Structures are given as structure tokens and as C-alpha cells.
Chains A and B, each alone.
Chain A
Amino acid sequence: MIDILIQAIFWLFVVLTVGSAIVVVFSKRIIYSAFALLFTLIGVAGLYVFLAADFLAASQMLIYVGGILTLIIFGVFLTAKIYGMTIPDQAHQRYLALLPVAGFAAVLIHVLFSADWNLLQSTAEPTTENLGKLLLTTYLVPFEVASVLLLAALIGAMRISRPREEDDDR
């Protein structure tokens, strides 16, 4: 009974991810694409849970759903003359696009068949605690360097986002 329930939830997330991804690609209004991307990212977080990657699922929710998507939606809101804007639907360079798509598909299919998926079932325990232990002992330096990287990213982003005429005095 519980197995069937887990299977049902898994397929729910699959449908959510793939279905909303299709909306992202085929929607004529860019704002609908942006909001559909919200459900794609939530679906992917659900799939991470099924892959026993609990910390990755939490970071997906926190960073992508909570942060990056907010930026994308603001990006849409800030676009001038967004009213009545539709995405041109004719495709360009169809055959050239086939090349990278086929290459990427080959990589994905290779991973699909070469990965040992059964391994995940046996080692399904919380990853966050072990990750934290490693981060605070063995990988302490990278952990502290990460804060410097974030600081650099913040200052760099602020510097770029300022109006240009104020460049001289700052």
C-alpha cells in the first residue's frame, strides 16, 4: 500500500516537472513561462528527494524556487513595453540546433544506463549531517572561501547595477 503511494507521488512529480516544462517552452506569453518554471523547479526538487539527495532538494527550493525565480520574474516585470508582447513562434536554425540537442541527449542517455540506480536505495540516509561535518572539518577552507566569493558576488553585482553617471565618485 505504502509502495503504491510512493510510486503515485513519484509520478505526480514527474508529470508536474515535464508538464510545466512543456508550458515553459510553448507558452506564448513570457510571464506564463516564468510562472510555469516555478512548478518545473519544484518538481525537480521533488525528484531530488526520490534520489535521496535531501540537502540538494532543500537548496533547490531555497535558491532556485525562492531566489533565482524571483529574479527571473522581476526581470520580466522590469522589461519595457511588456504589454501585449508575444514570443515570435517561428523557429530559426532548426537543423543546426539538432547538433547540440543530439549531443546533450547522448550524454543524458549514457548517464541513464551507466548509473547504478539501485545503490541509492541501500544508502538512503540523510546527507545534510555528514555534509555539514565535512564542511566544518575537512573542507573548512573552501567553506570560508565561499563566503568571500559570495561577498565578491554581492559587491560586484551592486557595482554593475548602479547608474553609470555615478561611476566617478564611487
Chain B
Amino acid sequence: MNFGPIFLFLIAAGGVVFVALFLNRMLAPRKPNPEKLSTYECGEEAVGSPWIRFNTRFYVIALIFLVFDVEVLFLFPWAVNLKSLGMFAWIEMAVFIIILSVGLAYVWAKRDLEWIKPDSDEIQAALRQSSQTITDK
């Protein structure tokens, strides 16, 4: 088993990040002012705290993702054997995927994939609360 290239890749990737940040730190002049130090939010002025509650739909989508993540895991041992086992293995995996597609059809038909827009009152309340926390500090 040859994991050497993967480890080399990991080390190289970490090294590139380290060198890039380190060189940047060495070369760039540092003259901070409040404007530069403020959070960059696509040119918009950042309001309130980032610690607001996320839409719960994220969690549901992540749950659906997890099931199909496990499906992908089963594709690995299947893919390396596809050539030697041929059509038989292909049909087996087709059955496997069709059974799981029922799940995808189910969540689609039951509208679990639809995004519920967050209640605007709730956002206003969260913003008020977080700006309150900042002024309290």
C-alpha cells in the first residue's frame, strides 16, 4: 500500500500555506487603522454580531447529505472491482442506487428540500439582541 504520495501532498499543501503567510508577514508593511481592521463583508458595513441562529434547514440538508455520503463510500470498493466482476457488479450497484433514489424522490416529493425563508421578525429580534450585547460590553 502506498500512501507516501498522499502524505507528501499533505506536507506540501501545509508548507505552501505556511510559506505564503510567512512571506506575506515578512514583506508587507503593517500600518493598521480602524477602517482596515474592520470585518470585510463584501463592501457592506457589518451590523450586529455574527453569532446569530442559522436557519434550521441547513441541518436537514446536512442530514440528507450524510446518507448520500455513505452511498458514495460504497462506490469505492465497487469501482475497483467493476472491471473484474463486470455486468453482475454493475447491476448490483444499480439496485443499490435505485433503492436510495427512492429516498431522494421521497424528500423531493415531501418538499423537504425546499428552503424556508427565515422569519424577518426573528432576524430583526436577533439583530437587536446582538447589538444590545455589543453596547453592553
- Which A residues are CB-close (under 8 A) to B70? 63, 67, 150
Kindly identify which residue among B1, B7, B78 contacts A125, using a CB–CB cutoff of 8 Å.
B1
B99 touches A144 (CB 8 A): yes
Could you say which residues of chain B place their CB within 8 Å of the CB of A137?
A: 85
Picked from A9, A59, A74, A128, the residue with its CB within 8 Å of the CB of B58 is A74
Stretch of B25-33, B34-42, B100-108 with 4 or more beta carbons under 8 angstroms from chain A: B100-108
CB <8 Å contact, B1 and A144? no
B62 partner residues in chain A, CB cutoff 8 A: 67, 70-71, 74
Pick the most buried of A82, A129, A140, A154: most chain B CB atoms within 10 A of its CB. Answer: A154
Of all chain A residues, which has the CB nearest B116? A163
Tell me the smallest distance from the CB of B85 to a CB of chain A, in Å.
6
Interface size class of B (residues with CB under 8 A): 35 or more
Alpha-carbon gap, A59 to B77, bound state (A): 11
Interface flags, B65-108, vs A, CB<8A=1, else 0: 11101111110111111001100110010011101101100110
Q: How far is the CA of A74 from the CA of B67 in the complex (A)?
A: 16
Instruction: Report whether over half of chain B's contact residues are helix, strand or loop; otherwise say mixed.
Output: helix
Contact residues, A107-156 vs B (CB, 8 A): 124-126, 128-129, 131-133, 135-137, 140, 143-144, 146-148, 150-151, 153-155
Q: Which of A18-26, A50-58, A87-95, A97-105 contacts B (4 or more CB under 8 A)?
A: A50-58
The interface residues of chain A lying within 8 Å CB-to-CB of B22 are none
Q: How many chain A residues touch B (Cβ–Cβ < 8 Å)?
A: 50
Q: Roughly how many angstroms separate A59 CA and B88 CA in the complex, as a whole number?
A: 25
Residue ID in chain A nearest B57 by CB atoms: A161
Q: Which residues of B contact A (CB under 8 A)?
A: 1, 3, 6-7, 11, 49, 51, 53-54, 56, 58-60, 62-67, 69-74, 76-81, 84-85, 88-89, 92, 95-97, 99-100, 102-103, 106-107, 110, 112, 130, 133
The 3 closest A-B pairs by CB, nearest first: A132-B77, A83-B51, A154-B103
Please report A residues at the B interface, Cβ cutoff 8 Å. Answer: 9, 49, 52, 54-55, 58-59, 62-63, 66-68, 70-71, 74-75, 77-80, 82-84, 124-126, 128-129, 131-133, 135-137, 140, 143-144, 146-148, 150-151, 153-155, 157-158, 161-162, 170
Q: A52-B1, A136-B81, A154-B64 are in contact. List 12 more A-B contacts (CB 8 A).
A: A49-B6, A62-B73, A66-B69, A70-B62, A132-B79, A133-B84, A136-B88, A143-B92, A143-B96, A147-B97, A150-B67, A151-B102
- In the assembled complex, 27 residue pairs joining A and B whose CB atoms fall closer than 8 Å, in A order, are A49-B6, A58-B76, A59-B73, A63-B69, A67-B65, A67-B66, A67-B70, A71-B59, A71-B62, A74-B62, A78-B54, A80-B53, A82-B51, A128-B77, A133-B81, A135-B77, A135-B78, A136-B85, A137-B85, A146-B96, A147-B95, A147-B96, A147-B97, A157-B63, A161-B59, A161-B60, A170-B110
